[in-house]
Structure 1
Amino acid sequence: MKDPQRLLGAALVSCALAAGVGAGPAYAQENQLWISAPYETVLPGADADGGAPERSLAVRVSRDVADDRVPAGRLTVDVGEIASFARVSWPANCEPESEVKAVCDVPEMPAGTESVPAATFGLRALPGADVGASGYVRYSAVAGEATSHPAETRVGVGNGPDLGLSQADDQHGLRPGSRTSVRATLSNSGNRTADRTLLWLDASYGLRFEQRHANCEYRAHETGTSALCVLDEAVAPGQRYALNTGLGVGRNALYERFDHSVHPYSDEALEEMRGDWTWTRGTGAELDLRPLAAARAAAADPDLDPQDNYRAVMLNARNTADLKLGGSRVGGAAGDTVTARVTVLNRGPAWVASLGAGAAVATVRFRAPEGTTVGPLPEEDCWTAEDGTSPTTHFCRTPIYLHDKASYTFEIPLRIDRVVRGAHTTVATLNDDPELSIREFDPNLRNNSARIVVN
């Protein structure tokens, strides 16, 4: 089991991965479609009553460039490789051509539309299907002159619980100092019971857990607080529980994120998720699950399909953060290399973090002062524009988060080729990065530039 904390700062994890993609723009330019479908799914075998739960596969057709209309088309689905162990339920827009192939009507994509739903069909393991059997469902699509690269979903059969979390809605416009909650449904769509559940929670730095439960352990880290909870309620096939996490919205909240995941409990899984960190047990009332549906009895096994075990929710507050740029003055003789420092200070009141897109809080742009040359910059943080302009433009970026009242300093080596009294350059932030726009949260852009002065 991977450490869920590593998921922070990355792009949001989705439960369905693109199974087949094309390399170019769509219909009008390169006649290219993309097919998006789950990368993999596991069909539960027979449960205690002899039935097998059904899985759904949702397929979409998309394109890169949405400038032109793409006419209605067809999606071909081939289930020949899984026919020996699975039964397919075709939707109304799919016409079977044989026992193992169907053609589905795909609606047109008007100009401005990037994707459309193509088909959602059901799969169920056949009675007596061998556990461990596997094969691929394969797809292709055509619309007018546009065609797709082939795509596929791997389908297997297994026995075990299949815990999952519903996706809670993102929240916007939260008021700093207020309270909110994230509501989700914990369910088991497998064919075996999870006797106990291991629940992982992570609230970003501008949020706080309203309660510290006695059956949970907590640890603070740079970007927030994590919790590990052991839930003793058995979750049987078909069982659904309400999971409600109360959160306080801090005075420093802005772009916040709440992550949670569920796994069948084991001592090994708990120790792996604890890692080498220090955790502190809560002292409040135990966290319990409230059942939403009746349960059926079964035996315990590892989780069948972990693709829906993890969810992330974005919670944005109405707040501001004033970034201020500080420059420096340096001096030296011709031939010297000096270090100029540029500091990005977050004056608050909010901290700033890009926990979804993973963008830098601030990217600064600068050129070498007259008579100097910029020396080697750290490759992981800085780069040089390769546009042939003179003088050359350089860029450096901060980490993806900056706490309130905290600062981050760039060190810029400058070789003095010749002494020019009062040589200077302006360093300024890029305020319109589409991944994290400074203009949207910074109320004072006048202090987002500074000077490097040499001699």
Structure 2
Amino acid sequence: MKDPHRLLGATLVSCALAATGAGAVPAYAMENELWISAPYETVLPGADANGDARARTLAVQVSRDVADGSLPAGQLTVDVSQIASFARVSWPANCAPESEVEAVCAVPEMPAGTDSVPAATFELRALPGADVSASGYVRYSATAGEATSHPGETRVGVGNGPDLGLSQADHQRDLRPGSRTSVRATLSNSGNRTAERTLLWLNASYGLRFTERHANCEYREHETGTSALCVLDEAVAPGQQYTLTTGLGVGRKAMYERFDHSVHPYSDEALAEMRGEWTWSRGTGPELDPLPVATAGATVTDPDIDPQDNYGTVILDALNTADLKLTGSRVSGGAGETVTARVTVHNRGPAWVASLGVGASVATVRFRAPEGTTAVNLPEERCWSLPEEPEGAADTTHFCRTPIHLHDKASYTFEIPLRIDRVVRGARTTVETLNDDPELSIRKFDPNLRNNKAEIVVNR
């Protein structure tokens, strides 16, 4: 399915620190992997109409995977030589400039039990007249005791245009089915051009509903919820902020829910791309933004210069349960034949179950082939076996997983081909769900685990 919004993820540049040394090894030199984390890239807005350029902040951290022992205080070296021709740096108090293009920043020690520390947070601004085609890298390296890092980097560019962003709204827990709530976020423009109109994309998962169907929005129902496309006619100038509030009903089937929203400068092309080939229905309620409609054709032509903050996700969990139930099957056949057993996961509700954040399966079932049979040709996209070798061994355990969502009163069936190597009358095996998956624990939402087992019976 085509993604309805373009999003550049805020990824981290990470560099391993290798501990070295001879003789007695101090605590900080133990074989722990250490990392430098910094934004993958940033775009500096050029000067606005008043000749001022807005700052961008780069925050750099040092972290480690294992927090055993301690890491002494160290230093971070920041090299800005590649961007010096088009950007100006403002160093924080813990950074001492070594030259016009390099600074050394004091990094605090990392005591035992601490897995990360802030290394430096500094500002960049585009110089007057900076070329929008200019780009370069800020490079980092670090030392701590005898440990050193490989260089990390952040790509920096310059752009003219609006830079719309959404603040991160708070996650919501323990909502009651049948209640109402709302998600409030701040729409801002940190670029150097005005966005004359804004294209807002919203998505409420299946257990939620929009309490209003606004006249300046169009809506589409899909398997996992409802999406909306809204055109906001309020011009957003550089530095301006507006509050966006979306009312949501928490349905009787709600449990693990998710709300997504993103903003983009409006253009006819962007709207057409987000509509895709789907069918949308316009709302009839009050407009989401009741301000007067802008003059026809008054659309911004500049793209958003840095889309990394255009998108937000809010998790909304409701107090609800879903009773999963397994059913098995009976099959018969002669030696040498392959028969198909079926195992079905039923969701008896009342809630639907979805892992829309992590993407974990609703249920993973575990089984061994009944005596005298071998499980063959299990679908690789859904199933796996342990141990992998030798294939068909009596101690091989098979696992199969459902999709990441299962509606209330819906079911999902696994087809399990069994080759009958020898006929064993009444051979049977137990199929059961794994109830303690840390990504999506069935035990936390299923009130009746007794019916989470079933049998496959062969030649009874």
**TM-score when normalising by structure 2:** 0.92
Mapped contact 2:28–2:72 kept (Cα < 8 A):
no
Structure 1 residues 4 and 107, CA gap change in structure 2 (3 angstroms): farther
Q: 1:100: which partner in 2?
A: 101
Instruction: Go from structure 1 to structure 2 and tell me whether the alpha carbon gap of 1:328 and 1:29 turns closer, same or farther (over 3 Å shift).
Output: farther
Look up the match of 2:304: 303
Structure 2: which amino acid aligns with 1:54? A
TM superposition shift of 1:4: 3.2
Question: Secondary structure of the equivalent of 1:112?
Answer: coil
Provide the rounded CA distance (Å) in 2 between the counterparts of 1:390 and 1:443: 33
Compared with structure 1, are the counterparts of its residues 284 and 176 closer, same or farther at alpha carbon in structure 2 (3 Å cutoff)?
Answer: same
Tell me which amino acid in the other structure corresponds to 2:413: T
Cα distance in 2, alignment partners of residues 145 and 350 from structure 1: 55
- What whole-Å deviation, never above 9, does each CA across 1:125-166 have from its counterpart, x for those lacking one? 011111110000011122223333321110011100000001
Give the AA of the match of 2:398.
H
Of 265-274 and 95-104, more deviation after overlay is shown by 95-104
Q: Aligned pair in 2 of structure 1 residues 73, 54: CA closer, same or farther (>3 Å)?
A: same
Counterparts of 1:116 and 1:209, CA distance in 2: 41
CA offset digits 1:302-350 (Å, max 9, x no partner): 1110000111111111111111111111111111110000000111111
How far 1:76 moved relative to its partner? 1.2
- CA change 1:24–1:439 in 2 (3 A) is farther
Q: Cα distance, 1:22 vs. partner?
A: 3.3
CA, structure 1 residues 71+23, in 2 after alignment: closer, same or farther (shift >3 Å)? closer
Structure 1 position 451, deviation (Å): 0.6
Corresponding letter in the other structure for 1:68: G
Partner Cα distance (1:144, 1:177) in 2: 58
1:88-146 deviation digits (Å, cap 9, x = unpaired): 01111111111111111222223333222211110000111111100000111222233
Q: Distance in 2 between matches of 1:75 and 1:175?
A: 48
The superposition leaves residues 24-43 of structure 1 with CA deviations (integer Å, 9 ceiling, x where unpaired) of: 99955435321111111111
**TM-score, normalising length: structure 1:** 0.93
CA distance in 2, matches of 1:200, 1:97: 47
Which sits farther off after the overlay, 378-387 or 314-323? 378-387
Residues 174, 315 of structure 1: 8 Å contact kept:
yes
Rounded Cα–Cα distance in structure 1 between residues aligned with 2:47 and 2:381: 51
Letter of the structure 2 residue corresponding to residue 371 of structure 1: G
User: Which residue of the partner structure matches residue 440 of structure 2?
Assistant: 436
Cα deviation code 1:165-207 (max 9, x no counterpart): 0111111111111111111000000000011000000000111
Q: How many residues align?
A: 441
Q: Is the 8 A contact 2:197 2:300 kept in 1?
A: no
Which structure 2 residue ranges, 5 or more long, are not aligned? 20-26, 292-298
What corresponds to 1:392 in structure 2?
A: 396
TM-aligned CA distance change 1:64 to 1:153, over 3 Å = same
User: Do 2:375 and 2:418's aligned partners in 1 also have CA atoms closer than 8 Å?
Assistant: yes
Structure 1 stretch displaced more, 141-150 or 69-78: 141-150
Structure 2 counterpart of 1:65, one-letter code:
V
Q: Say if 2:72 and 2:145, in contact at 8 Å, map to a contact too.
A: yes
Which residue does the alignment assign to 1:188?
Answer: 189
2:24 aligned partner: none
Instruction: Point out 4+ residue stretches in structure 1 off by more than 3 angstroms.
Output: 21-29, 387-390
Aligned counterpart for 1:418 among listed residues 415, 422, 425:
422
Percent identity over the alignment is 80
Aligned partner of 1:17 in structure 2 is 11
Whether the 8 Å CA contact 1:19–1:36 is kept in 2: the answer is yes
Query: 1:15 offset after TM fit, Å?
Result: 5.0
User: What pairs up with 1:134-283 in 2 under 5 angstroms?
Assistant: 134-283=135-284
Q: Partner of 1:3 in structure 2?
A: 3
Aligned-residue CA RMSD (Å): 2.0
Residue equivalent to 1:402: 406
Equivalent residues in 2 for 1:236-385, closer than 5 Å: 236-288=237-289, 301-385=302-386
Q: Cα deviations across residues 411-440 of structure 1 (Å, max 9, x unaligned)?
A: 000011111111001111111111111111
Per-residue displacement from partner, 1:200-238 (whole Å, max 9, x unpaired)? 000001110110000000001011000000000001100
Q: Distance in 2 between matches of 1:451 and 1:289?
A: 60
Once the 2 structures are TM-superposed, how far is the Cα of residue 59 of structure 1 from its aligned partner?
1.2
